Structure 1
């Protein structure tokens, strides 16, 4: 329906175990005994939190930390007030207890999901967590002195658990984010980030957290100053070449982009250049080559390891079985308004010692995925507010653009309106070319390496996800950059050939939902440009029909919508050519079937919109429309579609006013002035928003009007 929407990515929710090294062995030994039941272990372990023995408290926290990774145990702990019991232990006199207690809450927040995080914040977990973070940062210098004596780096281990807990809470709870802003915790996170020369693990956790809390956080922008930006810039300019620092710089780049509006004018160009250079350098790395090399290095190291080292690897492999099982739970939540809210679990903290090469590979793929998501957001226009859509949909007869927006409603980052600075930086660092390269299927050699090693197998999904993000990034760039910037007609034809190879080279079209969503979005944007520029393209209508058939079986609405839009673009192009009636008839029949039978009204609306495009004009289109009885089919469909749209249409102040004006002025005045009645209207409007977004309702209303007009047009064609 109109222009394809650009996608915007939100940061993933973090998930990791959070066990201290000393507690892991004890938990492993007693795990079977603890898991004999669900209720009794929860009660017993929570009672042990009050023990005068620090060792008992530490063991109880570590046991809880492990148990809450099993989702069925979480209600039992929550019912017994686990959060309030664990909270005070964040400030326990024993640092080991602090670490394991924070790890237990970290796991509870990660494995419990958004509702559990909200509940934890309501139970005031942020108060002891804030105090713990400040105490940890105050103890960093003392901790450095202890480290020189060879003692355990306990304070920074506790800080790492605390930062990860904070990250989870702020990712899932707006209240936690508000408390983060008001408590001034930003300076604490920056202190942890500045430890990157001493403790990359802690710095990475801080960078992840900072990347999350700076996204769409206008309140935090008031706290920005030169010191904050200076810290981020110093990270961007660091020169360490390992993958952990590559990921660190990428996350810092994401935070800088989130804070772009607070950048001093004099530093914008320099900072943007450093940011883009970081993303470019990350994307230059070839995972297909590096992952086999890292695996070979691990094999070589293992071959020379001592017997004790071999035993450690054996224990590590056992630990990684849990990592692998949890990695299979990765997924994507339902998308709304064209944005993806991911459950994208990062298990790098779970990897045991002795797996340095696997850590490097994981950091590489995470860095590349994050880089692509940042570029996606650079090329993504902000969604209009509910009020803007309400005004746009206030009249059935209003004239709108194809995407439902009025002519005067434009966005700073609307298509072909990227700022000159961002546009120039993308081109100067060859970002489009590097993104296109990442859209290729993962290297077969790298996939084989991971497929044949249990502990590396989890990287297969990560490699595919880099490809999916690259395809989404390509879609957004095609939607927001002009053709010449992308290389002109020849380059666009090459991109079309490449996408055709991805989709049609195998005997069957890939059915992976994330791939289909990303590749159909990219194809839709590309075909729109090709059609506008009248460039010949290599995909045949028959191929696109086969893609459409595969897409209609997909549960993801956006995949079906993209496939229908592709058919509409193809059909409207063919309608201008000779001897295409038969193909148009095939496309029209497919679109009619979807418009009539699909259960989702947005998909039905997209099918109708595509029909309007295909059969809008031309002798071939008229002949095809007659052959498939398009007029009678649409006449039969119109009252059904209209009734469904009216049923969903939210009641607003304007529409309520218009309704009562048709009956009596007195009632109208009461409706406008009575607060109770208006509150009722807002409640009805809220219920109407349940399944469809304001944008979708607006566009559906527009299609309802266009359907009536299109039927009138077909009737005039028949009378000729």
Structure 2
């Protein structure tokens, strides 16, 4: 039902301390404990203590308690934000750090609504003042010794992360960022990368967020900002933290491209893509086992030194840090926002190998998301959907019943410069490589240690992002750019093995959404070149069955589209009536029984394509009684649009559904003529 639009990634909402948004287990959250055991009163009272140690203790305790999301309302009801705000400018540096950390955790664990409340309580005023004081303190602070961190920089790191969360979740915070000159302050934090890469990464994350779709800020970009980002890209340190830092800088520069002189854009584009390409070159499946073994060796050596604590005795309880992925939340524009989680801030300083592994996976996920955004930068607007989905019957050709919709199947527009840079740096091949399942060696290495287990989901997320990225690339490039027919057939075999290689199709919704999107784009491209399909009817049915149990609408839509593409190809061949019959029955079932109108419409649209022409399709249509089935379905479909459509679906979706409704009537007329032959 129209082209499969590529997904443009917004930055996932990282929890400030790396915890899931709801760190408590589901069963803990189901019971409402009320205020009976709420520690808010006592802890907030201690903030007024004249003793700095007591104030620090209170802030640190609040920071820990609000990680349990059910405690947050109790703190908000007692004006925690207003009472913590002045602590950001406390005379004690330690209090400043813990108070900022408490607000950082509150913003992360409370989500968007809490961030909005914090901005209403004017937390941006003391936060802005704190960041300015921190940057002034950079110049006068003594240069820290190796492996030591400046207290001022520790405070700045907490503050930048709080700023990042607020700007991600609240437009007013972003507006204050733009007007308060905070860009220069965050850039100063970025420039600390030679000796404090943790602070620089926090600043880079923040810059990557605030520069996306923010034309007001881009007007203030100057040579100092660009120079700092370019210096980061030119850094030569090998560790994975710097790989992540460079990827974030590349993404920020891409966001800023419109503010650069035209003469500088080509060079910038090549540098950005080269940075992302190098990041994707690293094989996490090989590196993670090496890092895990290096950690084991180091801990064994440390354990033999008297008086030194063995870090294995301090392993993190990952039962509370396991990611609690939420189903994608549909947005008005049809894109989805996902919750993402990061545990790196919880890792003890000594867990350097684990930090390296986390940094690499975050860098590769970020790089893939940037490439998706690059492919979507020239994406047609939603208005184009409305224009192309007009219900004016005069736009529909007499024979091509779905011309008004199928025109949307054309590839998206990709500028020649972006296209050339992606091809010259072999991005399609590298992305395809990343779509493979993680190496068993890496999975085994992560399973062997409590603290490393969260990396397993990180590995899966990189794979899912690669699949989404592949979908974007397939939607924006032609066959020749992708290496020709042989390359497409290889890609089809790889994707088919991901879906059908195991005894049963994976049920993870994020993976299913990504792999079905990629497979749909690839099969559409293969069909356009009349290349033989690689999926059997039996495999199609298993995919359709797996998708039918998925709550994510886009997964079901993709599965239906794959059925339609394959069925259309079968209709061009001889002796395929039985296979077409299987496809047709499946599509009729979905068109009549799926609970979502968009899925119903996609199934009808697929039926139009499969049974539009050909002797094999005619025989199959008679066998499955397609004409009476569609006649029975027609009034039901029209009634559902009238009853459910206006309040539940977007104007763009309704326009496409209206088009399907018209095509259904015309297709029934076509089938009636076929029967009379």
| Fold equivalence (TM over 0.5) | yes
**Cα distance in structure 1, aligned partners of 2:490 and 2:147:** 58
- Maintained 8 Å contact 1:436/1:470: yes
Q: Helix, strand or coil: the match of 1:197? A: coil
Q: How much has 1:516 moved relative to structure 2? A: 1.1
Q: Quick check: 1:642 aligned with 2:599?
A: no
Q: How much has 1:16 moved relative to structure 2? A: 3.7
Q: Quick check: 1:715 aligned with 2:672?
A: yes
Q: Residues 204 and 271 from structure 1, CA distance in 2 versus in 1: closer, same or farther, beyond 3 angstroms?
A: same
Q: How much has 1:395 moved relative to structure 2? A: 4.5
**Cα distance in structure 1, aligned partners of 2:583 and 2:235:** 55
Equivalent of 1:234 in 226, 231, 239: 231
Residue matched to 1:56: 54
Bigger relative contact order, structure 1 or 2, given CA contacts below 8 A and separation 6+? 2
- Maintained 8 Å contact 1:404/1:699: no
Q: Residues 210 and 170 from structure 1, CA distance in 2 versus in 1: closer, same or farther, beyond 3 angstroms?
A: same
Equivalent of 2:657 in 678, 700, 711: 700
Q: Quick check: 1:99 aligned with 2:97?
A: yes
Residue matched to 2:27: none
Deviations 1:39-60 (A, max 9, x none): 5411000011111111111000
Residue matched to 2:42: 44
Q: Residues 431 and 387 from structure 1, CA distance in 2 versus in 1: closer, same or farther, beyond 3 angstroms?
A: closer
Q: Helix, strand or coil: the match of 2:221? A: coil
- Maintained 8 Å contact 2:4/2:517: yes
Deviations 1:407-449 (A, max 9, x none): 7x99xxx825211111111111111111111111001001001
Residue matched to 1:479: 475
Deviations 1:485-507 (A, max 9, x none): 10100110111111111111211
Deviations 1:124-156 (A, max 9, x none): 1111111111110011011234x3599861100
Q: Helix, strand or coil: the match of 1:325? A: coil
Q: Quick check: 1:251 aligned with 2:248?
A: yes
**Cα distance in structure 2, aligned partners of 1:389 and 1:199:** 47
- Maintained 8 Å contact 2:325/2:339: yes
- Maintained 8 Å contact 2:128/2:182: yes
* Residue ranges of structure 1 left out of the alignment (5+ in a row): 20-34, 651-687
- Maintained 8 Å contact 1:615/1:621: yes
Residue matched to 1:523: 519
Equivalent of 2:328 in 333, 346, 359: 333
Q: Helix, strand or coil: the match of 1:343? A: coil
Q: How much has 1:701 moved relative to structure 2? A: 1.3
Q: How much has 1:296 moved relative to structure 2? A: 0.9
Residue matched to 1:178: 175
**Cα distance in structure 2, aligned partners of 1:238 and 1:589:** 59
- Maintained 8 Å contact 2:18/2:344: no
Q: Quick check: 1:211 aligned with 2:208?
A: yes
Q: Residues 484 and 309 from structure 1, CA distance in 2 versus in 1: closer, same or farther, beyond 3 angstroms?
A: farther
Residue matched to 1:117: 115
Q: Trace 1:304-319 onto structure 2 (pairs within 5 A).
A: 304-306=301-303, 311=309, 313-314=311-312, 316-317=314-315
Q: Quick check: 1:614 aligned with 2:605?
A: no
Deviations 1:521-565 (A, max 9, x none): 111111111111011232222212221121111111111111110
Q: Helix, strand or coil: the match of 1:139? A: helix
Residue matched to 2:505: 509
Q: Residues 5 and 150 from structure 1, CA distance in 2 versus in 1: closer, same or farther, beyond 3 angstroms?
A: closer
Equivalent of 2:590 in 589, 594, 599: 594
- Maintained 8 Å contact 1:591/1:610: yes
Residue matched to 2:627: 631
**Cα distance in structure 1, aligned partners of 2:489 and 2:148:** 62
Deviations 1:86-127 (A, max 9, x none): 011111111111100000000000000111111111111111
Q: Helix, strand or coil: the match of 2:141? A: helix
**Cα distance in structure 2, aligned partners of 1:378 and 1:455:** 34
Instruction: Report the number of matched residues.
Output: 658
Q: TM-score, normalised by structure 1?
A: 0.88
Q: How much has 1:176 moved relative to structure 2? A: 1.1
* Residue ranges of structure 2 left out of the alignment (5+ in a row): 20-32
- Maintained 8 Å contact 1:86/1:105: yes
- Maintained 8 Å contact 2:35/2:74: no
- Maintained 8 Å contact 1:280/1:429: yes
Q: How much has 1:390 moved relative to structure 2? A: 5.5
Q: Helix, strand or coil: the match of 1:137? A: helix
Residue matched to 1:296: 293
Q: Quick check: 1:488 aligned with 2:488?
A: no
- Maintained 8 Å contact 1:12/1:341: yes
**Cα distance in structure 2, aligned partners of 1:355 and 1:13:** 24
Q: Helix, strand or coil: the match of 1:9? A: coil
**Cα distance in structure 2, aligned partners of 1:608 and 1:406:** 13
Q: Helix, strand or coil: the match of 2:320? A: helix
**Cα distance in structure 2, aligned partners of 1:88 and 1:428:** 53
Q: How much has 1:517 moved relative to structure 2? A: 1.0
- Maintained 8 Å contact 2:379/2:412: no
- Maintained 8 Å contact 1:18/1:104: no
**Cα distance in structure 1, aligned partners of 2:411 and 2:319:** 41
Q: Residues 309 and 326 from structure 1, CA distance in 2 versus in 1: closer, same or farther, beyond 3 angstroms?
A: farther
**Cα distance in structure 2, aligned partners of 1:265 and 1:43:** 58
Q: Residues 206 and 443 from structure 1, CA distance in 2 versus in 1: closer, same or farther, beyond 3 angstroms?
A: same
Q: How much has 1:310 moved relative to structure 2? A: 5.4
**Cα distance in structure 2, aligned partners of 1:541 and 1:118:** 51
Residue matched to 1:342: 338
Q: Trace 1:5-404 onto structure 2 (pairs within 5 A).
A: 5-17=5-17, 39-145=37-143, 147=144, 153-306=150-303, 311=309, 313-314=311-312, 316-317=314-315, 320-321=316-317, 323-336=318-331, 337-380=333-376, 395-397=391-393, 399=395
**Cα distance in structure 2, aligned partners of 1:164 and 1:303:** 35
Q: Residues 167 and 149 from structure 1, CA distance in 2 versus in 1: closer, same or farther, beyond 3 angstroms?
A: closer
